[in-house]
Structure 1
Amino acid sequence: MSDNDLLARHRAVMPNWMPVYYGDDALEIVSGSGRRVTCSDGRTYLDFFGGVLTNMIGYDIAEINEAVQRQLATGVVHTSTLYLIRQQVELAEKIARLSGIPDARVFLTNSGTEANETALMVATNVRRSSQVLAIKNSYHGRTFATMAITGHRSWSGSALSPLQVSFLASADKLRGRMAGMSDGDIAEAAVDDLREVLATVTAGDVAALIAEPIQGVGGFVAAPDGVLGAYQKVLSEHGILLIADEVQTGWGRTGEHFWGYQAHGVTPDLITFAKGIGNGFALGGVVGRAEVMNAVPAISFSTFGGNPLSAAAGNAVLDYVLDRDLQRNAARTGSIILDGLRKLDLPIVGEVRGRGLMIAIELVRPGTTEPDPAATLRVFDECKAGGLLVGKGGLYQNVIRMGPPLTLTEDEAREGLDILAEALRRAEAAQRVG
C-alpha cells in the first residue's frame, strides 16, 4: 500500500484537527535504528525530532528491548495499582531520588497531559482554590484543564475551563512585553508582572504557578536563569505552589542540568514529566513533596499509568541515561549544532536559541522581527529533502524546533547541521527571488 492510500484512509477516519506533517507527502515510518528512521518508500532519514522529543534514546535500543521482552515473558502486562508492581516502585524510587525534592512521592501516569492534570488536582486541593497562574506562549496538554493553562492560541481547542487562569508575560526577546530587554531587565519585569497580576486579577488564595523552564510547543523560548527562583520568592509570600512542567526539559536534555528548573536556583513543589522517560512507551508522572502529594482527599489512581510494561521500559531508559552520562553528550553534541547555526548569520534567522539538544531557529522577514511562516515551511521541507526530520512550532508557526535523541553522535550532529545550513540558505535564496 502506498503512503497516499494510507493518507486517504487516515483522513477518512481521523478528525481534521489532527495534523500530519508534509501534507500530501505524509510519511509512514516503518523501522528505526539509532537516530535514523526508514519510511515505507525505502528512504532513510536522520531524526532530529524524535517523535516530539519522546524517542529520547533513539530507536531499537537493545537494553530497552530486552527489559520489555523480559516483562512480556512473564505474561503480565497489566495488573492495576491495586496490586504491587515491582517495576513501578523501582522507577518511582529512582525518580524521587533524582527529583531534588526532599521526602518525595511519585504518581505515574500515561502522558504529560495526564501528569499536568494530576498536578493541578493536587495543587488545587492543597490550596482549596481553582485559581492558577500560567505563562503566555506555554503548552501543557490537550485535556480540559490543561487547555485552560495553555497560553498558546493554536493549541487552545476550547474557551471553556474548570479553572480561573491568569497569565504572566512570556520571556520572548523578539516581541511582546520583554522584547529587546537584557536578561536582568527581563527578570525584574517578570517579577513586577507577577506582583501586578496577583494584585489585580486574582482574588484570595491562588493554587499554583505552572511553568515550563523552556517552552516546548512555544518554540523553545526560555526565561533567563533565575527567573523561576525570583518568581518563587513572591509565590512563597502568598503560599502559592510552584509546578515545573519538565515534560520536554527533563532527563538531561538541556545538557547543563538534569532538570530544567535547576538553572533557576529553585526547588519546585511539584514536577511533571513524561515523553522521553518511556522512549515511546506511554509513561509520565508527577513527583512532589509528600505533604503536597498526599493532600488529595479521595481515592484516585491511573488504570494504565506505571503498568509493568511501561515501567520496565522507564527503568531501562533511566538507567541508560545515567550509566552513559547522556546529559554530558547532550551538552557536547548540542553545542556543535547551536554554535554552527549561530555562525551562519543569515537575515531570515531572527534567533537561534536552545540548550543542549533542545534547539530552535526562529525565521523572520529580513530586517524585521515579523514572523515568516512561509520561509519556515520552506526550511522544513528542504530538511526533509536533504534527509533530516525536524519539527515546527512557535506562536506564529515560524520556528524550526529540534530535539534529537540524547545518544546523537558528533558526526550525526555535524551531518544534521550541514543539512540545516543548506536548507536555510535555500530558503534565503528563494526569499530573495520572490
Structure 2
Amino acid sequence: MSDLLARHRAVMPDWVALYYERPIEIVSGRGRRVTDADGRTYLDFFGGIVTNMLGYDVAEVREAVERQLATGVVHTSTAYLLRGQVELAEKIVRLSGIENAKVFFTNSGTEANETALLLATYARKSDQVLAMRQSYHGRSFGALGVTGNRSWRNNSYSPLNVHFLHGADRRLPQFAGLSDADYIKVCVEDLRHLLATATGGDVAALIAEPVQGVGGFTMPPDGLLAAYKEVLDEYGALLISDEVQTGWGRTGETFFGIQAHGVTPDIMTFAKGLGNGFAIGGVVARGELMDALHASGLSTFGGNPIAMAAANATLDYVLEHDLQANAAKLGALIIGGLREAAGRLPVVGDVRGKGLMFAVELVDPGTGEPAPALAGRMMEETRERGLLVGKGGLYGNVVRMAPPLTLTEDEAREGLGILIDSLEATNEAAK
C-alpha cells in the first residue's frame, strides 16, 4: 500500500486529497460493505460520496449493464436515437413534477449545473445569478462561481455576476434563537434588499441545494426556498434546484429535496446516485427553457448506453423497493440515536440531517468553536472500527454520512453503535 501511495503522490495533483492517515485502496464490494487491499472489510456509510446509492454488486444493475455490453454497443453519441436515454428521460420527467419538462444528460453534476446556468442566463439575457452561502456546485469555472465556500474556490474570477444569500447559516449570531418563521422572514427581507441594492433587477436565477452537501449537510428550514421563489417570480427570475446529492428519495420525506419546501423549481439538476457508480448527470427543466437555446448542442458521452442501462435499472430498483421509505425509517433511527448520545458528549456541536443523509458537527468542548482536527480524529476512530464516513462543512469540522438506500436495520444499528463509540473516543481525546 505504501508503494501505491508513493506512486499516487508522484503523478496525481497535491489537491486531490486522500482520506485517513493511512489511505486505503478499495478492491471489492458487496451489499453495503467494501474490502480494502489488505483484506479489511468496512460498512460503507459514504457510498463513494453519495454515489453508490444501492450499494455494491447489485444484480439488477450488473445484469442490465452486462446486457448492454453484450450488444457490442458501448457508445454511439446523441447523434443517434438512444432508447435507454428516452426511457430514462420519460421517468425523470414524470417524477420531477415540472410541467412540460425535457431532459438533457451529462456526465456529472458539475456539467449539469453548468447546463442549468446556461439555460437560465440565456432565457433571462442576464449574467446575474444568486446562490447560497456555504454552497458547492462543482469544480468547473461557472460552477465555482456560484460556490459559496472559499475552501473550494481557487480564485475570484467568474463568468457570472453572483450574489450570495443567507439560508443555511442559522448558527450565526445575528440569527441565533430565531424560529423557522422568523428566520425565513429575515432571509426574504434580505433578498429583497439585495435585489434593490446590488443587482440590476434582471436576475437570471437562484441556484440552491435543498441540503448542502460539501457544506456539511446544512440546510434551510422547509419553506424558505418557496418564500424565495415568490420574490423571484416578481422579477421573472428562475429557481434551480441542485439535487445532485438530495435526489431519488435520499432525504426520506420527499423524492427530491426541493419538494420539502412545497415548491416546484423551473430547473432541476441531478447526478451521483442515479447511476449507482456509473458516470451520469443531467438537467430536467421546463420545455420552453430547454428548447430555447439557438446554437447546436450535444453531449458526446452524456447519456451513453452503458450509463443509461445502469441508471434505468437503479431508478427502477429505488421505486420498486420503496427505498425512500427505507431512508425515512432508518434515517430516523440513526439521527435519533446520535442526538440522544450527543447530549452527554460536549465534542458534538450539532447532529443534523434528513433520511439517510446526516452529519455530526465536531467542536472544541471548551469554546464551542469548529474543530476540524477532531473531525479528522473521529474519521480515524470510525475507520478503525470498520466504518467508512465522509467529511465536509465550511470549516472542515463535520463528519457527514450517506449510506446506500438499501441499508438494513441491522446495519443501521451496527453503524450507529460504531459512530457513538467513535464519538466517545473522540470526546475523551479532546479532554
The residue number in structure 1 matching 2:12 is 14
Asked whether the equivalents of residues 111 and 284 of structure 1 are also in contact (C-alpha less than 8 Å), the reply is yes
1:207 aligns with 2:204: yes
Deviations 1:59-118 (A, max 9, x none): 000000000000000000110101000000000000000001111100000000000000
User: Aligned equivalents of 1:176 and 1:114: distance in 2?
Assistant: 36
Q: CA deviation at 1:158?
A: 2.4
Q: CA deviation at 1:126?
A: 0.2
Matches within 5 A, 1:93-132: 93-132=90-129
Asked whether the equivalents of residues 240 and 265 of structure 2 are also in contact (C-alpha less than 8 Å), the reply is yes
Deviations 1:143-181 (A, max 9, x none): 000000000111112221111000001422323643332
Matches within 5 A, 1:32-51: 32-51=29-48
C-alpha root-mean-square deviation of aligned residues, in Å? 0.9
The residue number in structure 1 matching 2:281 is 284
% identical aligned pairs: 66
Matches within 5 A, 1:141-180: 141-175=138-172, 177-180=174-177
Q: CA deviation at 1:130?
A: 0.7
Q: CA deviation at 1:368?
A: 4.1
Asked whether the equivalents of residues 247 and 257 of structure 2 are also in contact (C-alpha less than 8 Å), the reply is yes
User: Aligned equivalents of 2:224 and 2:426: distance in 1?
Assistant: 35
| Structure 2 residue identity aligned to 1:22 | Y
The residue number in structure 2 matching 1:54 is 51
Q: CA deviation at 1:366?
A: 2.1
User: Aligned equivalents of 1:292 and 1:286: distance in 2?
Assistant: 11
The residue number in structure 1 matching 2:393 is 394
The residue number in structure 1 matching 2:83 is 86
The residue number in structure 1 matching 2:338 is 341
| Structure 2 residue identity aligned to 1:59 | Y
User: Aligned equivalents of 1:176 and 1:250: distance in 2?
Assistant: 31
Deviations 1:308-351 (A, max 9, x none): 00011000000000000000000111111100000011111111
**1:378 counterpart SS class:** helix
Q: CA deviation at 1:367?
A: 5.3
> TM-score, normalised to structure 2's length?
0.98
1:322 aligns with 2:319: yes
- Which of 234, 248, 253 is matched with 1:251 structurally? 248
**1:343 counterpart SS class:** helix
Asked whether the equivalents of residues 170 and 178 of structure 1 are also in contact (C-alpha less than 8 Å), the reply is no
User: Aligned equivalents of 1:351 and 1:318: distance in 2?
Assistant: 32
User: Aligned equivalents of 2:155 and 2:302: distance in 1?
Assistant: 26
**2:102 counterpart SS class:** strand
Question: Tell me, which stretches of 5 or more residues in structure 1 are unaligned?
Answer: none
1:4 aligns with 2:5: no
The residue number in structure 1 matching 2:358 is 359
- Which of 320, 327, 331 is matched with 2:328 structurally? 331
Change (3 A) 1:35 1:103: same
How many residues are aligned here?
A: 429
The residue number in structure 2 matching 1:420 is 419
The residue number in structure 2 matching 1:375 is 374
User: Aligned equivalents of 2:346 and 2:366: distance in 1?
Assistant: 7
User: Aligned equivalents of 2:62 and 2:388: distance in 1?
Assistant: 24
Q: CA deviation at 1:184?
A: 1.3
Change (3 A) 1:274 1:177: farther
Q: CA deviation at 1:427?
A: 0.7
Q: CA deviation at 1:120?
A: 0.5
Deviations 1:9-63 (A, max 9, x none): 111011111111114x111000000000000000000000000000000000000
| Structure 2 residue identity aligned to 1:400 | V
User: Aligned equivalents of 1:7 and 1:47: distance in 2?
Assistant: 22
- Which of 300, 306, 309 is matched with 2:297 structurally? 300
User: Aligned equivalents of 2:225 and 2:394: distance in 1?
Assistant: 22
Asked whether the equivalents of residues 147 and 158 of structure 1 are also in contact (C-alpha less than 8 Å), the reply is no
Deviations 1:392-420 (A, max 9, x none): 00000100000000000000000000000
- More displaced stretch, 175-184 vs 95-104: 175-184
**2:88 counterpart SS class:** helix
Asked whether the equivalents of residues 134 and 168 of structure 2 are also in contact (C-alpha less than 8 Å), the reply is no
| Structure 2 residue identity aligned to 1:234 | V
Q: CA deviation at 1:227?
A: 0.5
The residue number in structure 1 matching 2:68 is 71
The residue number in structure 2 matching 1:407 is 406
> TM-score, normalised to structure 1's length?
0.98
**2:430 counterpart SS class:** helix
Change (3 A) 1:170 1:228: closer
Deviations 1:272-319 (A, max 9, x none): 000000110000100011011112111111110000000110000000
1:274 aligns with 2:286: no
User: Aligned equivalents of 1:62 and 1:368: distance in 2?
Assistant: 50
Asked whether the equivalents of residues 167 and 224 of structure 2 are also in contact (C-alpha less than 8 Å), the reply is no
Asked whether the equivalents of residues 112 and 283 of structure 2 are also in contact (C-alpha less than 8 Å), the reply is yes
